[in-house]
Amino acid sequence: MPVQPGTLGGVPALETSIPRAALTRYLRELPNYVVLRNEEDLFGNVERGGDIDLLVGDAELAERLLIHHLGPPIRINRYSFARGYFFDWGHIDLVQTIEWQGACYLRTEAILESRRLSARGRPVPRIAHEAAICWLTSPLWGGFFKKRYAPVIRQAVEADGAALEQALIEIAGDTWGRRLWRAAVDGCPETSGTWIQALRRAVWWRACFRSPIRTIQRYLAFVVSELGRRFAPPVPWIAISGSDRNARSSVANEIVHRLAASPYLYIKPIHWVGSDLGLVVLALDWLVNYWTRWVHLRTQNYILVFDQTYFDLLVDPKFSGYRAGRRLARALSWLLPKPDLVFSLDSEPDVLGHRTNEGALVDEVQRVLRAYMLERSTATLRYVQNPSVTFTL
């Protein structure tokens, strides 16, 4: 159901403080799970912009309990192996398998069976598993080594060395597992940052060797999930319409500045210029940019704010002043991706020479964007593609 102009759909007041009591109750009632990282400073990590990563044995039950204790999230990200829940105060990831592109390199059952209680009474992985997960997640998914986890790896070598060595060999095979172990023993795990492609191949084929059918199934699920995120991205995109390009750019930049601190939004301005070679070339430029650049940003959860789009040409005198131009522009527009939310900026300044609604428009974008995502999350607990809606102050 589209959000109507000026309607917040019963959105509750913004609450950015961490609901520590509700979170504590949730973690106390949740069965069969571990806190994957940063358990020693769980709430402090969230306050600094981090998240809470939980490996769970039953994702459906974990989701139901989460909604019961913390209420509906502003938005939800669903992957083939995890689900992310974003609130005003931060976000929680419910992880189902420790994998990379379908290759499960540490079994969930093994991690949960060998879990231990922390000094704060919360279940965490044994130190060898924690170190392996912290170590390999960034190289496999991001292509880099995260230095902050070097102390965890050193601690695992000293306190749980035999289990860490066994885990690394199980993950990457004898050759690369022992190479990782030697880097850990020598105190230089960061060297693994130069082995990215080899590690990825070793981890994937090791998983495939252990469980070929399940690995291929997970890989296909990963591919389908990623394609789904491209054809139905998890966040909307925004366009600012109006006759004054400078005013639109100013509003777009202010939206990005205002929402930069939000824990559930990543905002990026897009200043598209296009070409002067005609409508067909402009449409092609828009289409290529969307599918090669902009859709990738959207799958990475960036909300794009455009101060100019191809659809401005529908009212551009250069093209709309003659019948053939109007027809061609409208025909081409059927083929092109369109913004989910369009906000209109008044074209005429007031008697003092200022557009009175620029600041109000930024406020309205913030309110409507939050309401738009919350309504989708609350209604279905999964993202669906909504039709474009125009908001005018």
pLDDT one-digit tens code per residue, 315-345: 665 655 555 556 766 777 777 888 888 888 7
Lowest mean pLDDT among 102-106, 138-142, 380-384: 380-384
Q: Are residues 73 and 211 in the same domain?
A: no
pLDDT at position 388? 42
- What is the per-residue burial (b if ≥16 Cβ within 10 Å, else e) of 74-96? bbbbebbbbbbbbbbbbbbbbbb
Q: Is the pLDDT of residue 38 over 70?
A: yes
Q: How confident is the model at residue 8 (pLDDT cuts 50, 70, 90)?
A: very low
Q: Are residues 344 and 317 in the same domain?
A: yes
Q: What gap in Å lies between CA 315 and CA 320, rounded to an integer?
A: 6
Q: Are residues 209 and 279 in the same domain?
A: no
Q: Average pLDDT, stretch 196-222?
A: 94
**226 within some domain:** no
Q: Are residues 244 and 388 in the same domain?
A: yes
Q: What gap in Å lies between CA 226 and CA 229, rounded to an integer?
A: 5
Listed in sequence order, the residues at least 6 apart from 246 whose beta carbon sits closer than 8 Å to its beta carbon are none
**225 within some domain:** no
pLDDT at position 277? 67
Q: Are residues 69 and 169 in the same domain?
A: no
Q: Are residues 71 and 170 in the same domain?
A: no
Looking at every residue in the chain, the average pLDDT score rounds to: 82
Q: Is the pLDDT of residue 304 over 60?
A: yes
Q: Average pLDDT, stretch 191-210?
A: 93
Q: Average pLDDT, stretch 77-93?
A: 90
Q: Average pLDDT, stretch 26-39?
A: 92
> Three-state SS string across the chain, please?
CCCCCCCCCCCCCCCCCCCHHHHHHHHHHCCCEEECCCHHHHHHHHHCCCCEEEEECCHHHHHHHHHHHHCCCCEEEECCCEEEEEECCEEEEEECCEEECCEEEECHHHHHHCCEECCCCCEECCHHHHHHHHHHHHHHHHCCCCHHHHHHHHHHHHHHHHHHHHHHHHHHHHHHHHHHHHHHHCCCHHHHHHCHHHHHHHHHHHHHHHCHHHHHHHHHHHHHHHHHHHHCCCCCCEEEECCCHHHHHHHHHHHHHHHCCCCCCEEEEECCCCCCCCHHHHHHHHHHHHHHHHHHHHHCCEEEEECCCHHHHHHCHHHHCCHHHHHHHHHHHCCCCCCCEEEECCCCCCCCCCCCCHHHHHHHHHHHHHHHHHHHHHHHCCCCCCCCEEEEC
Q: Are residues 251 and 387 in the same domain?
A: yes
Q: Is the pLDDT of residue 76 over 60?
A: yes
**329 within some domain:** yes
- What is the per-residue burial (b if ≥16 Cβ within 10 Å, else e) of 277-289? eebeebbbbbeeb
Q: Is the pLDDT of residue 11 over 50?
A: no
Residue that finishes a domain, picked among 219, 245, 263: 219
Q: Average pLDDT, stretch 244-270?
A: 80
Side-chain half-sphere of 376: how many Cα atoms within 13 Å? 24
Query: Which amino acid, one-letter code, is at 167?
Result: A
**224 within some domain:** no
Number of compact structural domains in the chain: 3
Q: Average pLDDT, stretch 145-153?
A: 91
pLDDT at position 202? 95
Listed in sequence order, the residues at least 6 apart from 320 whose beta carbon sits closer than 8 Å to its beta carbon are 313, 314, 326, 329
**101 within some domain:** no
Please write the tens of the pLDDT for every residue from 150-181: 999 999 999 999 999 999 999 999 999 999 99
pLDDT at position 319? 54
Q: Is the pLDDT of residue 95 over 80?
A: yes
**23 within some domain:** yes
Q: Are residues 161 and 305 in the same domain?
A: no
Q: Are residues 239 and 379 in the same domain?
A: yes
**345 within some domain:** yes
Rounded to two decimals, the pTM is 0.79
Residue that finishes a domain, picked among 184, 219, 254: 219
Listed in sequence order, the residues at least 6 apart from 238 whose beta carbon sits closer than 8 Å to its beta carbon are 255, 303, 304, 305, 306, 339, 340, 341, 342, 343, 365, 369
Query: Which CATH number covers residue 277?
Result: 3.40.50.300
Q: Are residues 274 and 386 in the same domain?
A: yes
Tokens for 8, please give them: 């917040």
Q: What gap in Å lies between CA 347 and CA 316, rounded to an integer?
A: 14
Q: How confident is the model at residue 352 (pLDDT cuts 50, 70, 90)?
A: very low
Give percent of the chain with pLDDT exceeding 70. 83
Q: Average pLDDT, stretch 40-52?
A: 86
Which structural domain, as residue segments, surrounds residue 5?
A: 1-96
pLDDT at position 347? 53
Residue that finishes a domain, picked among 64, 96, 128: 96
Exposed/middle/buried for residue 253 (C-beta within 10 Å: 0-12, 13-18, 19+): middle
Query: Which amino acid, one-letter code, is at 366?
Result: Q
Q: Are residues 268 and 322 in the same domain?
A: yes
Q: Are residues 215 and 236 in the same domain?
A: no
- Alpha carbon distance, N-terminus to C-terminus of the chain: 21
pLDDT at position 135? 94
Q: How confident is the model at residue 1 (pLDDT cuts 50, 70, 90)?
A: very low
